[in-house]
Amino acid sequence: MSAEVITTISPTTNEPILTRNGISAQELEQVPDVATSAFHAWRSTALPDRQIIIKKALKILADKQDDLALELTVQMGRPIAYTAKEIATAVKRAEYLLKISDDVLKDTDGEPEKGFKRFIRKVPVGPVLIIFAWNVSGTDTGAGHGTRRSDCIQYPYLILVNSLIPALLAGNTVILKPSPQTPTIVEQVAHAFTEAGLPNGVIQYFHSGSPTIIESIVRNPKIALVCFTGSAAGGLAVQRAASDRIINVGLELGGKDPAYIRDDVDIAWAAEEIVDGAVFNSGQSCCSIERVYVAEGIHDEFVAAIQNVLKGYRIGDPHDKETHLGPVISKKSKETIEAHIQDALDKGAVNATPDNATFASLPAKGNFVVPALLTNVNHNMTVMKDETFGPVIPVMKVKNDEEAVKLMNDSEFGLTASVWTKDTEKGYALCEQIEAGTVFVNRCDFPSPDLAWTGWKTSGKGATLSRFGFDQFVKLKSYHLKDYPK
C-alpha cells in the first residue's frame, strides 16, 4: 500500500487535476537496490553507446514538444505561448552536454617518463538521487516550499537535464524525485529513455511529498550523490539529512538577483529587458531580476519607461496564446508575494504600477498576481532582502557605481547579477566586484550551457552546466603503471 496520495492543484483554477500514489517506505527500500544492480552494467557500457541512447531520447522528447508544452501549461500555469520553448531549450542544452562529453570524460595523462604510464581516469560515482523541489513544510502539496518561497519547479525540464544528462553520460544510474506539482515530467523523461533503449533500472523515479521518505533515501548507503534544486530551506534540509554520510550534495538554490542601470543606457531598450527579466513566467525563476538599482539622473525617466512596457502586458488565461503572464504556482506563493508588496508599502514604498485593462480584470479563479512596480524602496523592506519569486519590480535610486555595487552585494544570495551600460568595459570592471556566480553585462536570466551554473553564498554550492557540470558525477582514479623490470 502506498503511504500517501498526492494531488496536483491547477494554479489556474485551484482545482485538482492529477493524483499520484506516493511511494511507501517498503517500496522505497528497493529503489537503491535496483539502481545499484543496474549501475554495474551501465558503468561498463562504452561512452559512445551511452551517447547514442541519450541522443535518441532527446529526439523523442523533441518530437513530443507540443504535447509536453501543454502539460506544462496545465500543471504550472505558464502561458502556452512559452512552454514549448522550455522543451526546445532543454534539448539544446542536453545536446551541448552530449557534444562535450568525449573531451570532458577522457583520461588525463600524467607527466611522461620512460618506463612509466600514469593517468587519471574519471569513473562514475554510483546511484545518483536527483530531487527537484522538496516540500519541507508539509503544508502545500501543490509545490514544495521553504520559509521564503516556492521551490524552483518552474523550469522542470531545464533543471532536470542539468543533472540527468551528465550523470548518465558519466555512467551513473539515476533516481528522480519530482515536484508534486509536475509529476508527469519524470514519467515523460523515463518513458523517452526507455523507448530509446536505456536498460531497466538506469532511470527510476518515485513520487512523494513526505520529508521522512526523502530523508530516508538520502541516508541510504547505496546513494552515492544527491543533487537538489529548490529553496534554500529545502537545500539545508537535504544537506542535514546527508550530514552523517561522506557524500557530495549539490545544491542549486534561490536568488535575489540585482540589476544596475547606469545613466548611459538606452532607457526604452533597458526597460523592455528589465521587465522581461523580472516578470517573465510571472517572476518565477531562481535567476529572475528581483532588485533594480537605477542611476539617480535617469531614475524617473526609467520608471516611466517601465510603466510604458507594463501597459502592453496581458495577464490571464495561460491557454490563450496572447497571454504574457499566467498565475503563480500556488496560493501560498501568491500570499508570499502580496505580503512582500504590502510590507514595502507599509514602510514607505510607492506602488507605481500603471493602469492596464487586463490587470483590472483578473480571472475569478487561480493564483493571479498583477505585476507590481515599486519605487522609493530600501533595504529595510522584505522585498529587497528575501526571495519574492513573483512578478515584482522594486526600483531603488543610487548615486553612483560604488553605491550600486555595495547594494547589489548586500544580500545573503549570490546567483546572478547584471549591469546595463553602453560602456561594456566599465560593466565588466563592475562585474569583477559583484558577488555572484554568474554576472551579465546587458543581459539577464540566461543560463548558458557552456558556462558553469553555480550559486554563491546562500544560492547554493557545486556547479552544473559546462565541462565543470560533470565534476560532481565522477570520482578520480589515478593509475600509476611501471614496466616490469627485465
Residue 249 amino acid letter: V
Radius of gyration of the chain, Cα coordinates, nearest whole angstrom = 23
Q: What span, in angstroms and rounded, lies between the C-alpha atoms of 4 and 25?
A: 11
Rounded Cα–Cα distance for residues 451 and 448 (Å): 5
Which set of grid coordinates corresponds to residue 230?
A: 529548490
- Between CA 143 and CA 8 the distance in angstroms is 8
Start-to-end CA distance of the chain, whole Å, equals: 66
**Alpha-carbon span 279 to 32, nearest angstrom:** 40
- CA 364 vs. chain centroid, Å, equals 30
Beta partners for 481? 117
Helix (H, G, I), strand (E, B) or coil at 222: coil
Under 8 Å CB-to-CB from 470, ≥6 apart: which residues? 97, 101, 104, 105, 122, 166, 169, 170
Interatomic CA distance for residues 155 and 157, integer angstroms: 6
d(CA 170, CA 359): 48
Residue 396's region, left for phi above 0, alpha for psi from -120 to 50, else beta, is beta
Sheet order of strands, 392-398 included = 350-351, 372-375, 392-398, 289-295, 257-261, 416-420, 438-441
Cα(383)–Cα(395) distance, integer angstroms: 10
From the number of C-beta atoms within 10 Å of its C-beta (0-12, 13-18, 19+), residue 167 rates as buried
Of the residues 71, 252, 273, 387, only one is catalytic, namely: 252
- ∠ CA 162-120-454, rounded to 5°: 25
Q: Is 86 considered catalytic here?
A: no
Residue 249, CA atoms < 13 Å, CB-side half-sphere: 21
Instruction: Annotate 30-70 with DSSP letters as a single string.
Output: HHHHHHHHHHHHHTTS-HHHHHHHHHHHHHHHHHTHHHHHH
Q: Which single residue is written with the C-alpha cell 502545500?
A: 140
Residues marked as catalytic = 252
